[in-house]
Amino acid sequence: MDKAVIETIRLNLYYGDFLALEEVNIRIHRHRITAIIGPSGCGKSTLLRCFNRMNDLVESTKVEGQILIEGEDILSDKMDLISLRKKVGMVFQRPNVFNLSIYDNLRFGLRIHRMMSEKKKIDEAVQNALEHVGLWDELKDRLKKNARTLSLEQQQRLCIARVIILKPDIVLLDEPCSTLDPVSTLKIEELLRILKRDYTIVIVTHNMQQAARVSDETAFMHLGKLIEFAGTAEIFSNPKEKLTENYISGRFG
């Protein structure tokens, strides 16, 4: 078996007194798309947000156990959150482009991380990132336009480009297609399949068909616990746990 890129060991997470994640042990593999599914409130987004410590932003959060990213304990006090979030990028439910030009949206992270200053290099990186997400041909002549003038699908692609321009190892996506129409959704899914050659992708989705279509491995969570984690074909054709079967076949949730 491949070495895990992300590994959690007996991970517990509390919001105040509420136990949101309970004894989660998961190993996420390199260059795969891993989907996390489960009913609302099951902890799937919470788990995703653990992988780049976004939960730190939520007050009274307490985490127990270990989260290793490429073997490094990211819960350690020594962990530099800025570099962690560069390494583990995140795309959210709604495209959150900045009220800036397309070009400046992409340059933003490069500046924060002081990755490059030479204009030629930045231009190259911008082109590269836009090509990667399939936007270059459409947008190359209007990079100075405000990013908010783009369609939602283009905005979401731009958000993905904004993550990958920083050369992360891992891309986390929290319901990235929930505001998109079916065709845009399929296009984003196609993009994810291309991106997995270079990145490890973890996607939280409410849309089970999306998980079935796009992911290589699927994790099913319920009430804060990881119930089943297996190959996507296995989960959707012959899940081992009754709870998984009941959820994916619409008996609850």
Partner 1 sequence: MIRERFANHIKKLENELAEMTALVASAINRSMEALKSRNIADAKQIIEDDAIINQKRQLIEDNCIYLIATQQPVAGDLREIIAILNIITDLERMGDYAEGIAKIVVLLGKEPLVKPLDYIPKMAELAVSMLNRSIESFLKRDAKAAGAICNEDDAVDALYDKTYQELIDCMIEDPSTIKKATYLIWAAHNLERIADRTTNICERIVFLVTGSMQTINVSKY
Nearer to partner 1, 84 or 243 (CB): 243
Instruction: Give the shortest CB-252-to-partner 1 separation in angstroms.
Output: 8
Query: Can residue 50 be called a binding residue for partner 1 (CB under 8 A)?
Result: no
**Binding track over 107-146 against partner 1, x by CB under 8 A:** ----------------------------------------
Query: Can residue 214 be called a binding residue for partner 1 (CB under 8 A)?
Result: no
Q: Find the binder of partner 1 among 212, 214, 221, 227 (CB under 8 A).
A: 212
Instruction: Give the shortest CB-206-to-partner 1 separation in angstroms.
Output: 14
Query: Can residue 209 be called a binding residue for partner 1 (CB under 8 A)?
Result: yes
Nearer to partner 1, 37 or 143 (CB): 37
Query: Can residue 249 be called a binding residue for partner 1 (CB under 8 A)?
Result: yes
Instruction: Give the shortest CB-235-to-partner 1 separation in angstroms.
Output: 8
Query: Can residue 236 be called a binding residue for partner 1 (CB under 8 A)?
Result: yes
Spatial neighbors of 50 by CB under 8 A, at least 6 apart, are: 8, 11, 13, 21, 63, 67
Instruction: Give the shortest CB-211-to-partner 1 separation in angstroms.
Output: 10
Query: Can residue 245 be called a binding residue for partner 1 (CB under 8 A)?
Result: yes
Q: How many residues bind partner 1 (CB under 8 A)?
A: 14
Tell me which residues touch partner 1 (CB under 8 A): 208-209, 212, 236-239, 244-245, 248-252
